[in-house]
Amino acid sequence: MKKNLGSILLGAPGSGKGTQAKRLSAYFSIPHISTGDILRSEIQRGTELGKRVQEIVAEGKLVSNSLVTEVVRKRFQEKDVERGYVLDGFPRTVPQAAMLGQILEERTLPDSLVLFIDLPERLLVSRLIGRLSCSQCGAVFHKELNPPKKELTCDLCGAHPLSQRKDDDKDTVLKRLDVFESETTPLLKFYSKKGRLQKIDGSFSVEEVFKILRKKISP
Ligand code: AMP
pLDDT tens profile 174-191 = 999 999 999 999 999 999
Strand order in the sheet with 32-34: 32-34, 86-88, 7-10, 113-118, 197-201
Active-site residue among 176, 199, 215, 216?
176
Residue 80: DSSP 8-state: G
Cis peptide before 219 (omega within 30 of 0): no
| Nearest-angstrom CA–CA distance, 162 and 47 | 23
pLDDT, tens digit, for every residue of 126-161? 899 999 999 888 888 999 988 999 999 999 999 999
Instruction: List alpha helices for the chain, DSSP H.
Output: 17-28, 35-45, 48-58, 65-75, 94-106, 121-129, 170-179, 185-193, 206-217
| Nearest-angstrom CA–CA distance, 26 and 35 | 18
Question: What single-letter amino acid sits at 74?
Answer: K
Whether residue 67 contacts residue 73, with contact meaning beta carbons closer than 8 Å, is answered with no
Residue 112, pLDDT above cutoff 80: yes
- Examine the residue annotation and report whether 83 is marked as an active-site residue of this protein: no
* pLDDT of the residue at 209: 97
CA of 158 relative to ligand 1 center, distance in Å? 26
Active-site residue among 22, 23, 92, 127?
92
Residue range 110-129: mean pLDDT, rounded: 94
Give just the sign of the alpha carbon dihedral 58, 126, 164, 204: negative
CA of 98 relative to ligand 1 center, distance in Å? 17
CA of 38 relative to ligand 1 center, distance in Å? 9
Can you tell me which atom of ligand 1 is nearest the CA of 59? Answer: 12
Which residue ranges have their beta carbon within 6 Å of ligand 1? 13, 35-36, 39, 56-57, 60-63, 68, 89-90, 92, 96, 167, 176
Within a 10 A sphere around the Cβ of 5, how many other Cβ atoms? 17
As a whole number of Å, the end-to-end CA separation of the chain is: 19
